[in-house]
Structure 1
Amino acid sequence: MSIDPSSIPNFGGGQPEPESGPPAGPIIPDQDLVKQLLDQMELKHVVDDEGDLAAPWEQFRTYFMFRGEDEQQIFSVRTFYDREHSIDDKPRLLEVIDEWNARTLWPKVYSHTHDDGGVRLIGEAQMLIGTGVSLEHFVSSTVSWVQASVQFDKWLIEQLGLAAEVDGDGDEKPGDDEA
């Protein structure tokens, strides 16, 4: 099956011509379909040691994971933000991510406190795919989730006044650093 490039919002660069028309009816997406979508979005991606597909940016990495079986299978787009915050900053951080979560649909962002007291953020969006989804819905949701993950990082920098800590304009595509 192939993705109709006209259904992909412009995320960067040109879009290739479709190989064939979209399939009729619902599909069960898989990792190969996500790889094809990332290729068409011109985003570098790798498969990690656990078999999960990831797109690395300079300050975060986004994973595209399939979990569960049969009708309960879930597609998850999970972004791990690398910027570490101190445990003392956690109350302010929680205020900021609560505001994001109340104002946006995705990604929903939460904090994770490591044993050493460092706090990192994780964003996540999920879709139940076990009974099938339309290709157009899958593509538009996945692209929107990736774009929102990038936007969250920019928004967080602005909200916390971290712009001085960031080199460049933050518009890096995956692959601008070496994963």
Structure 2
Amino acid sequence: MGFFTKDTSAPPPPALGPLSRDRVTAALDARDMRYGIDDDGDVGGYWDGHLFYFFIMGQNGEYLQTRGRWNRKVGLDQLQAITEIVNEWNASKLWPKGYVRAEDGVVGVYAEHTVDYEHGVSDAQVDLQLACGISTGLQLFEHLDEKYPAEAAAARAEMDEN
């Protein structure tokens, strides 16, 4: 059979369903992960102390985005240094995309993983992308914790108190 010849003897692939918040929460439930739904209807939760949200975006709700925020308090005097660390990460890693923002006197670092499911998605794909977004986001945050161990220790101590 040639490369461009369609094999008509194979069964058609299963139909893919549209992306939805219910499918995201079902994937999280299947892994016994704890999460909440905020007043805007966004799904989110904490993994290793870092807040992650799972957004359904796009004109037709076709994009699944996992967005996490590094839960450390680092002063704005470190903005340039952290930006360089995150830019180096982006240049050498496929996922997640990291970015840095100045927020209320501290440096905010975010990890994002976005996938387009315009043509539908399987439950296995939703599960895989959530796992990928969380795990790679945590890898970025662990990398930053290695560079800022005092801030990581302070954040862990604060979590232990609560």
Fold-level similarity (TM above 0.5): yes
Query: Which amino acid in the other structure matches residue 22 of structure 2?
Result: D
Query: Which amino acid in the other structure matches residue 82 of structure 2?
Result: L
| Partner of residue 124 from structure 1, selected from 104, 107, 112 | 112
Residues 117 and 164 of structure 1: CA distance in aligned 2, closer, same or farther (over 3 Å): closer
Tell me by how many angstroms 1:51 deviates: 0.8
2:156 corresponds to 1:167: yes
Aligned position for 2:32: 42
CA root-mean-square deviation: 2.6
Query: Which amino acid in the other structure matches residue 110 of structure 2?
Result: I
CA contact (8 A) 2:27 2:126 kept: no
Aligned position for 1:18: none
Alignment map for 1:54-69 (pairs within 5 Å): 54-57=44-47, 59-69=49-59
* SS in structure 2 at match of 1:125: strand
Tell me by how many angstroms 1:117 deviates: 2.9
| Partner of residue 91 from structure 2, selected from 79, 102, 120 | 102
CA contact (8 A) 2:19 2:62 kept: no
Query: Which amino acid in the other structure matches residue 157 of structure 1?
Result: D
Tell me the distance in 1 between the aligned counterparts of 2:147 and 2:101.
Answer: 19
Tell me the distance in 2 between the aligned counterparts of 1:134 and 1:42.
Answer: 19
CA contact (8 A) 1:69 1:130 kept: no
CA contact (8 A) 2:23 2:126 kept: no
Higher-Rg structure is 2
2:140 corresponds to 1:152: yes
Tell me by how many angstroms 1:111 deviates: 0.9
* SS in structure 1 at match of 2:40: coil
Q: String of CA shifts for 1:41-91, please: whole Å, max 9, x gaps.
A: 221000011110001235321101112233x73111111223122111011
* SS in structure 1 at match of 2:73: strand
Aligned position for 2:3: none
Residues 66 and 164 of structure 1: CA distance in aligned 2, closer, same or farther (over 3 Å): closer
Q: How many residues align?
A: 148
Aligned position for 1:7: none
Report percent identity of matched pairs: 26
Residues 144 and 39 of structure 1: CA distance in aligned 2, closer, same or farther (over 3 Å): same
